[in-house]
Structure 1
């Protein structure tokens, strides 16, 4: 039994009143964690989509596909199929029966126990996959203000982001909100480094922003790419504002004790899922992803 399976079994034994569902598949393509080389283009716009965003970034979708991210093309790819399984549970939690028991069920925290387990890769793929939905929109927020990786991975740049908004009332949501050439996908970068990042994320201004994210659009899912749970305070602060969490773990690397410690830092009422990164299966398919859902 793998480390993550032991963790899920323990969670379910301790919390018998909630249900667990699991989905796992495999792929040969899923070992991408390095920033990719794309050429960004920033375009000024008066408005984009149904948000009052003032900037658009062009994502190099061909390069993303080449680097084994979820593809927006018509080609059928294993990674697309895997993330369809993963996102379906999250969407059901956000808008289905369970949503009535969660605070801000459409706000999803993506994190890990330690750095390097693939949380940013997973957060971007979840956002791309949800953007393929015909009746949902997705906002990807780089909330890893200590070591921001969404902008680095997508190779986009913007001079204002989350921390800039939180520390200045002169910065507005349209100033930090980026539309993309993916119709239903928007981005917010991490912003300027700040020594009071925990205090900024715990501020009333952040709480108001999160409430706006949760309620402004009935069809929107917000994904926060957050710092790892262990060793920092920012992620626990963010978790208190979200209804769901996805903990990315690397099979044969992440320890059971680390998973248990990570889960203990999350609110008890939160819906918690595990996404297995680089899980080696014996079906001859190489590396892949699995998703185990458990409610804490």
Structure 2
């Protein structure tokens, strides 16, 4: 081999060696890089596991400290206050929110918890002390003349309704109180009779203001309601229970007259009124029902209402009611009913004021 050939061979060997060393360095660099990536991923995975473990530990700590004595709620920053808005009643209605109930609405709802029927009803409060000062039957233990007089009247009526004679009269527990003309004291007598019967231990009484032309029971007993007998007879109230109101007298309930209507007198003579009276007689045989009816003279429907009642009381004002008027009244009354008279505003002696008997 010549000198030139040996020199070329050495160059080729040197180049081959250099090429191998370069390839070896690239392989070492790649392995180092891959090793570092693996270490970094392992570190990240380790950190993730550590964080999860710490979170799990925190959850366990919270679950273990939820007893009322040991648990403390973490402090939270207060949420930002909402902007002040003026919300009207219409807006509350449109959004479905409930408005704050008025005092009247609360009273109605409270009474409906105790009542057997309508949510629109309330208990009528009767001021017993005020009535006593005005000469009405007293609910106290004090014995007064008016108490004794109406006690005597109610005994006869109760005996007719529940005694041996009850089978001789149709609907003996339904009593109509009327007068020949107006302003003779029929509402006063009807209210006192109801109050006196309500003091009985085992007798319930329903007082109905059937004087739908000139209702006065609400003024005498001092209450104010909008729904009553007229609304039921007109069909605005479907159930009679919706117009029967409880009172603070345990055994006394009231049906007010309701709002005036141009057909009020015709409503009293309607079949619906007859059916209502018959329902009272049949459905509540242990209850006394008292109708405060319009005067007999000048109101034809009062004579029709008398046919719905088993017992009829005519109030006569002393020194005012004419004998001719009484004769006319008796001719209008059914012949097969138990009829009685109450003399009102009677002067017993010069030293006494008015007595009622």
How far is 1:241 from its partner?
A: 0.3
How far apart, in 1, do the equivalents of 2:267 and 2:279 lie? 17
Partner residue of 2:147 out of 68, 74, 80: 80
Aligned to 1:30: none
Contact 2:187 2:216 in 1 (8 A): yes
| Runs of at least 5 residues in structure 1 that lack an aligned partner in the other structure | 1-40, 291-296
2:191 is equivalent to residue 191 of structure 1: no
Contact 1:55 1:177 in 2 (8 A): no
Contact 1:111 1:228 in 2 (8 A): yes
1:14-52 alpha-carbon deviations (Å, 9 max, x no partner):
xxxxxxxxxxxxxxxxxxxxxxxxxxx964333657x54
Partner residue of 1:149 out of 205, 210, 216: 216
How far is 1:218 from its partner?
A: 2.8
Q: How does 1:25-36 map to 2 (within 5 A)?
A: none
Contact 2:131 2:138 in 1 (8 A): yes
Larger RCO (alpha carbons 8 Å, 6+ apart) = 1
Partner residue of 1:237 out of 304, 307, 310: 304
> Going by fraction, where is helix more abundant, 1 or 2?
2
Q: How does 1:1-296 map to 2 (within 5 A)?
A: 43-44=108-109, 45-46=111-112, 48=114, 52=117, 54-168=121-235, 170-282=237-349, 284-290=351-357
How far is 1:289 from its partner?
A: 2.3
Greater Cα radius of gyration, structure 1 or 2: 2
Q: Helix, strand or coil: the match of 1:110?
A: strand
How far apart, in 1, do the equivalents of 2:185 and 2:108 lie? 30
TM-score, normalising length from structure 1? Answer: 0.80
Q: Helix, strand or coil: the match of 1:57?
A: coil
Aligned to 2:13: none
Count of aligned residue pairs for this structure pair: 249
Contact 2:173 2:285 in 1 (8 A): no
TM-score, normalising length from structure 2? Answer: 0.67
How far apart, in 1, do the equivalents of 2:218 and 2:238 lie? 19
CA-based RMSD: 1.8
How far apart, in 1, do the equivalents of 2:282 and 2:314 lie? 24
| Runs of at least 5 residues in structure 2 that lack an aligned partner in the other structure | 1-105
How far apart, in 2, do the equivalents of 1:178 and 1:199 lie? 24
Q: Helix, strand or coil: the match of 2:154?
A: helix
